[in-house]
Amino acid sequence: MRFYFISSNYHEISHYYIFLLLTRGGKMSGEEMWWERKIAKPAESEPESEPEFGSEPESEYESYTLSESDSDTDVVVKQERMARLFEPDTKHTTEEKVLLGLHIVHCRQFTEYDPKQNDFVCTCFCHFNIAFFDLDEESDAPHGLPLQVQTYSDWCEMADASVNVISLKIIRSDVGYPINVFGTVLARDEVDYKCVYLFRRERDDPQCITKSRNMLTLTGPRRGFVISDSMFFEINLKIKGDQTSDDKDFSKGVIRHWRVPFDRRPMITHLLSSWRSIVELALSPITNPVAASLKVNILSGPCDVPFKSKVTARTIGNIENPIILYEYDNKVTWNHILIEDDGAIVLTRNLVAVPVPSHTVDDDEEILLNVSFIAGNGKDERTSVTLSYPEEEKVCNHGCYELLVKVCWTGIQDVPMRGDILRRWTLVPAGVLAPAVL
């Protein structure tokens, strides 16, 4: 005889589900999967008749042809497919089965129905086992050592590859323009897979998007990324409504970026189509990277008014795709501090990964970073400064300003994968299709 415990308490559901995983050898029957969905889903949203579980579909990728009137059944079918994909492997130990069950429970917490994709997607990073992993914890990994003090062994431990995040553009809005967007965009790399924020705005401080291909004003990263295989970008953006209850999901999902060795493209783009938008993430791969942390001080010129210019950075091999470090916009930044008391311009981004040239090609090549100041008066007046390692500062004149550009050169150290992280990669249910946009 089977007993089914009907409860609206999420923790009871989770414990019940893990209990089934353990007592059924890590698997649930079709009927049990249906009851598990019935517990987690309000009764009024169930189909009028219970689905039959006489046979399993021939393939995980079986397609279904349903009419518009079968929308409720469509939801059930997609849930059944997801349940099959999340079946744990029976070869695991009891402890591993518990971790697998907890992973599944957490994944379902972040799984939502995306009307744009017409499918259920996991909107958070879940590519390794996330049981007992704090998805909200920020990375506290430090910067590498200054290049001047690095030893030969330190150079040997440097990362082979990194990326610069060039931009995140709103390609399409299904609700038109203008819109006020808030939320988060973050990255997770191989250092610790913790949050490295690139965009973080609260509801009372949204960014106004006025037209297609507008860029979000990015504010990170705070350290250089390490990528030997792949890294992840997690997007969670909302549209601000008149009231909190009127806020709408705008873009949600995970983008996985794979490193492609010997890829000479200066820029790689990824599209995420979700909810009410299409967004484009543009990345620039960097080989043998070091980190350049920048600071710009006003030596002479008006400090009591905003610095009405744009500051960009370019690296060798990617001159055509500048990284915007600062851009004056009266509508966006008027209430923000733009110039510190010491005359430093508050850059929205200040760290750039710079490639170390291969001396097997040209011994005269240097570690170079180009910083440009572009006037905002419509005349495209430009002042460029090129810093080469080991230079740490350079003075330039831009309009009525005398500016001091400072750079701190640090290493981006490779980090061996920790044992607990490696184990998480091995504890993912067999056959799971990663719910990410590649």
Confidence of residue 376 (pLDDT cuts 50, 70, 90): confident
Same topology between domain 160-286 and domain 289-411: yes
Which region among 86-90, 98-102, 306-310, 380-384 has the lowest average model confidence (pLDDT)?
Answer: 86-90
- Report the mean per-residue pLDDT for the chain: 80
User: What is the residue type of 285?
Assistant: P
- SS3 state of residue 38: helix
Q: Where are the domains of the chain?
A: 10-135+421-426, 160-286, 289-411
Give me the residue label for tokens 């590498």: 144
pLDDT for residue 418: 86
Least confident of 22-26, 95-99, 277-281, 379-383: 22-26
Handedness of CA 373, 322, 319, 290 (dihedral sign): positive
Q: Which residues contact 316 (CB under 8 A, 6 or more apart)?
A: 354, 355, 357, 365, 368
User: pLDDT digits over 194-233, tens only?
Assistant: 999 999 999 999 999 999 999 999 998 999 999 999 999 9
Rg (CA), the chain: 25
Is a pLDDT exceeding 80 seen at residue 184? yes
What 3-state class would DSSP assign to 161? strand
Cα separation, 162 vs 189, whole angstroms = 10
Identify the pLDDT of residue 364. Answer: 58
Q: Is residue 362's pLDDT more than 70?
A: no
What's the confidence (pLDDT) of residue 304?
78
Cα gap 108→86, rounded to integer Å: 10
Where is pLDDT greater, at 19 or 314?
A: 314
Label residue 429 by pLDDT band (50, 70, 90).
confident
Architecture of domain 289-411: Sandwich (2.60)
17 in helix, strand or coil? helix
Dist CA 388 CA 409 (whole Å): 10
pLDDT at position 28 over 80: no
If phi > 0 it is left, if psi is from -120 to 50 it is alpha, else beta; for residue 175 that is: alpha
Cβ proximity of 371 and 270 under 8 Å? no
Mean pLDDT to the nearest integer, 18-25: 46
pTM of the model: 0.78
Grouping H, G, I as helix, E, B as strand and the rest as coil, residue 50 is coil
> Among 81-85, 272-276, 367-371, which is the least confidently predicted range?
81-85
Which fold would CATH assign to domain 160-286?
Immunoglobulin-like (2.60.40)
What is the model's pLDDT at position 9?
Answer: 42
Rounded CA gap, 274 and 330, in Å?
A: 30
User: Which residues have a Cβ under 8 Å from the Cβ of 395 and sit 6 or more positions away?
Assistant: 299, 402, 403, 404, 405
H or E element, residue 309: strand 309-315
d(CA 122, CA 22): 24
pLDDT surpassing 60 at residue 432: no
Mean pLDDT highest for which of 136-145, 229-238, 327-336, 371-380? Answer: 229-238
Work out the angle at residue 36's Cα, subtended by the Cα atoms of residues 32 and 40, and round it to the nearest 5 degrees.
170
- What is the arithmetic mean of pLDDT over 139-143? 91
User: CA-CA distance, 315 to 283, in Å (whole number)?
Assistant: 13
pLDDT score, position 79: 62
Q: Are 313 and 369 in contact (CB under 8 A)?
A: yes
Euclidean distance between CA atoms 310 and 307, whole angstroms = 9
Mean pLDDT score, 236-252: 96
The pLDDT value recorded for residue 415 is 84
* Distant-in-sequence, close-in-space partners of 7: CB < 8 Å, separation ≥ 6: 13, 16, 39
Can you tell me the distance from the alpha carbon of 30 to that of 280, in angstroms, rounded to the nearest whole number? Answer: 39
Tell me how far apart the alpha carbons of residues 134 and 140 are, in angstroms, rounded to a whole number.
Answer: 13
Q: Which of 68-82, 114-128, 332-346, 381-395 has the lowest mean pLDDT?
A: 68-82
CA distance 285 to 93: 40
Question: Alpha-carbon distance 150 to 148, whole Å?
Answer: 6
Say which range, 60-69, 126-135, 181-190, has the weakest mean pLDDT: 60-69
The mean pLDDT value for 174-194 works out to: 96
